[in-house]
């Protein structure tokens, strides 16, 4: 859940904040290792970067799978 919020913050900050602002640099430092492999797989779409959207979907799917596994093991 927190990772999804960080990804959304990354997108919002990219529109409104200078790339060298300390807050944005820290968010980039956390999020870029997740987005870089996705960017290598996705085709270039001009100015639009869909890697945060794909990352949010993947995080949600992994969270669902992990919750299911934990519930299946626990009970």
CA torsion sign, 26 to 29 to 30 to 32?
A: positive
| Every domain of the chain and the residues it spans | 2-74
* pLDDT category of residue 75 using cuts at 50, 70 and 90: confident
**Mean pLDDT across the stretch 40-65?**
94
CB neighbours of 31 closer than 8 A, spacing ≥ 6?
6, 7, 10, 52, 55
Q: What is the pLDDT of residue 1?
A: 83
The pTM of the whole model exceeds 0.75: yes
Mean pLDDT of 44-71: 95
pLDDT per residue as tens digits for the range 14-52: 999 999 999 999 999 999 999 999 999 999 888 899 999
What is the separation of C-alpha 62 from the centre of its chain, rounded to a whole number of angstroms?
12
Burial of residue 56 (CB within 10 Å: 0-12, 13-18, 19+) is: middle
């Amino acid at each position: 859940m927190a990772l999804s919020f960080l990804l959304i913050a990354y997108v919002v900050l990219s529109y409104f904040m200078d790339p060298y602002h300390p807050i944005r640099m820290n968010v980039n430092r956390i999020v870029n290792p997740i987005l870089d492999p996705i960017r290598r797989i996705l085709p270039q779409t001009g100015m639009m970067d869909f890697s945060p959207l794909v990352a949010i979907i993947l995080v949600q799917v992994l969270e669902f799978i992990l919750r299911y596994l934990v519930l299946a093991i626990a009970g």
